[in-house]
A and B are shown apart, each in its own frame.
Chain A
Amino acid sequence: MRRNKWMILLEAIVLIVCVVVFCLPFYFILLTAMKTAPDAALMNLQWPEQNMLWENIKEVFGARNYMLVRAFWNSTLLTVFSLLILVVVSSMAAFVLQRRTHRFTSLAMLLVMAGLIIPPAVVPTIWVLEGIGLFKTLMGMISVEVAIHFSFCVLLYKAFIGGIPREIDEAAVMDGVGGLGLFYRVIFPLLKPVTATIVVIEAVFIFNDFTHPLYFLPGAKNVTVQLTLYNFTSQYVSQWNLLFANALLITLPPLILFLFFSKKIVAGMTAGAVKG
């Protein structure tokens, strides 16, 4: 295709439309977070007379006895520990599921794939958590995140392990290495690229998770950042500036990850989707 005048015009139009449609909402968040409450209630794109961003952020953090600080702490713990467990258990499982062909592994793989399609049963999960004494605990919440995100991780790991030649395993076995040694000393280090992809993508998803903490981690002590923002919607009915200051704060971590790892995130999510 030759680059002609029409193509350039079309590109300009698409570019402008995309900038307006996809940037304006974020610009609006930033702008509203900088305003006073009465100005924010006007909901317009006027530049604020004085910049209240810092004051608003301080007030949001101080609200309800520093609830947001606790929320960031809880969300960080939830994200970090879920990721650690996910990486360890799903890479091990994917290794065996990829390498062994057996009636049992194909059945197991079918069950794992079901996790990508079937919606988790809510109240029965609470029933199980109560039964093992983990309902309303961070440990219980971490376990649920692991169970829910496990299928996607296995999918990515399995596809990647499929590209590692079996000769590597054989050479290691010749050297007298057993199953665990082979996996942790030889295979796992080779998985670094896909592990990085999984860590970045799942970090964003678990940090952004609203639905599951809403069900499985109730209680003021346990709030996560998404729940705090949701709770503030009923508390700050007429103070949009504070609500958007909070929204701005929880949009920053994914933005930072995206700026550094956009290629990895896009590639990982495309691969996950296509393989599924």
Chain B
Amino acid sequence: MTKVFKRVYPFYFLIPAGIFYILLFLVPTAVSFFFSLTRWSLMDWSFIGLDNFVTFFKEPWLYTGLQNTMIFAILTSGLKVVFGLLLGVFLCSRIKSGEFIKSLVFFPVLVSTIAVGITFENLMHPSNGIINGFLAWFGLKGPNLLGDPDLALVSVALVDVWKGIGIATVIFIAGIKSIPEEYSEALQIDGGNAWHKFWNIIIPLSRPAMNTVIMLSLIGGLKTFDLIWAMTKGGPGFSTDTIASIIFKQYQAGFYGLSTAGNVILFLIVILIVMPLMKLLTRNEVEM
């Protein structure tokens, strides 16, 4: 049988894909560890040990970037779980406009991030923007959403949630639909109401979907670059800089070693957060 395997499922089928993937993904990832320890100009390099990493943790404007990355990832994934779950539950109940609402919520996923960034930059304009105009209706004085260093990161995070909530919602819908009907039937016989159904059936049994949403949006949040770059370029000051935007800024400035150290830090953060979390989350899943 092994002989037949070799002939009909040959390993050389992996070569074309392997060339692209090894050369342009695995090799750069591997060499990034070395070049993060150098002062580097592409032409030549000099070894400087851990200096780049020390800089990252010592310089306040780089360290802020690390903090911002964590805040951004946790905030966006938390909000996507809450709103995605609520929308998912709502869209799975017997309503007439379900398909329409689902399409509305999903479409932003497919829109250019740069276009979304520019649009919300306008909507969030401190004096003319529609969002503050809406608040003024109620006699509230709207804040400078993107200009206030304390608010800017949260504002960009909210736009990210707006753009990405569609994926979370459809994943929750798939998860909720896969829960067998018998559970709600049993609950009805026992006299449970919609609230019981939500807490005792939907929440525990849509855990796989919830875990997927958490992992996906956490990984995506840690890597976010384009939305931040389109809306604030890391400003005002360094208040919305994340590791990904620092990688770009250092690259532009010609500090390739420092930029690559940023990449390695991002790699380590993703691995150190995602791997244990994945273990923890899958352990807590309940059998259906």
Contacts and interface: CB of A to CB of B under 8 A. Distances in A.
A204 B113 CA distance: 12
Contacts of A1: 93-94, 194
A189 interface: no
Contact of B118 (A108, A111, A247): A247
A95 B9 CA distance: 8
Between B118, B229, B244, the greatest number of chain A beta carbons within 10 A of the residue's beta carbon is seen for B118
Contacts of B20: 85, 89, 143, 146-147, 150
Given A117-B274, A122-B251, A14 B90 contact: yes
A167 B9 CA distance: 14
Nearest to B28: A124
B24 A89 contact: no
Contacts of B129: 43
B83 to A, nearest CB: 11
Interface string B15-45: 0111011011111110110010000101000
Interface stretch (A53-61, A65-73, A190-198, A251-259): A251-259
Given A28-B123, A262-B103, A118 B29 contact: yes
Contacts of A128: 23-24, 27-28
A231 to B, nearest CB: 10
A119 B96 CA distance: 41
A154 B14 CA distance: 11
A142 B26 CA distance: 17
B280 interface: no
A42 B128 contact: yes
B16 A233 contact: no
Contact of B128 (A44, A96, A97, A130): A44
Contact of B95 (A7, A121, A150, A225): A7
Given A123-B40, A123-B259, A250-B115, A96 B122 contact: no
B106 interface: yes
Contacts of B28: 120-121, 124-125, 127-128
A96 B7 contact: no
B112 interface: yes
Given A15-B101, A117-B274, A122-B259, A28 B122 contact: yes
A95 B13 CA distance: 8
Contact of A258 (B100, B110, B167, B266): B110
B174 interface: yes
A210 B107 contact: no
Contact of A96 (B10, B27, B115, B118): B10
Nearest to B26: A111
A90 B13 CA distance: 9
A117 B270 contact: yes
Contacts of B204: none
Contact of B13 (A24, A92, A129, A211): A92
A89 B122 contact: no
A42 B170 CA distance: 37
A28 B130 contact: yes
Interface string B250-286: 0100001001100110110011001000000000000
B23 A132 contact: yes
B108 interface: yes
Nearest to B103: A262
A98 to B, nearest CB: 9
A210 B29 contact: no
Main secondary structure of the interface of A (DSSP, over half): helix
Interface in A193-226: 204, 208, 210-211, 214-215, 225-226
Given A15-B101, A262-B106, A121 B170 contact: no
Contacts of B55: none
A108 B21 CA distance: 11
B251 A123 contact: yes
Between A112, A154, A211, the greatest number of chain B beta carbons within 10 A of the residue's beta carbon is seen for A211
A124 B125 CA distance: 38
A247 B14 contact: no
Nearest to B274: A117
A115 B21 contact: yes
Contacts of B17: 89-90, 92-93, 150, 154
A84 interface: no
A62 B236 CA distance: 33
30 contacts: A11-B96, A18-B104, A22-B162, A28-B123, A43-B129, A92-B16, A95-B9, A99-B9, A116-B219, A117-B219, A117-B270, A117-B271, A122-B248, A124-B29, A125-B28, A143-B20, A150-B21, A210-B230, A226-B114, A229-B114, A229-B115, A233-B230, A240-B122, A251-B111, A262-B103, A265-B110, A269-B167, A269-B170, A274-B171, A274-B209
In the A-B complex, the 6 residue pairs with the closest CB atoms: A124-B28, A121-B32, A147-B24, A89-B17, A93-B17, A247-B115
Interface of B: 4-5, 7-11, 13-14, 16-18, 20-21, 23-29, 31-32, 35, 40, 42, 90, 93-97, 100-116, 118-120, 122-123, 125, 128-130, 133, 162, 167, 170-171, 173-174, 194, 208-209, 212, 216, 219, 222-223, 225-226, 229-230, 244, 247-248, 251, 256, 259-260, 263-264, 266-267, 270-271, 274
Given A25-B116, A127-B42, 7 more contacts: A99-B5, A104-B11, A123-B40, A182-B8, A208-B110, A269-B167, A270-B171
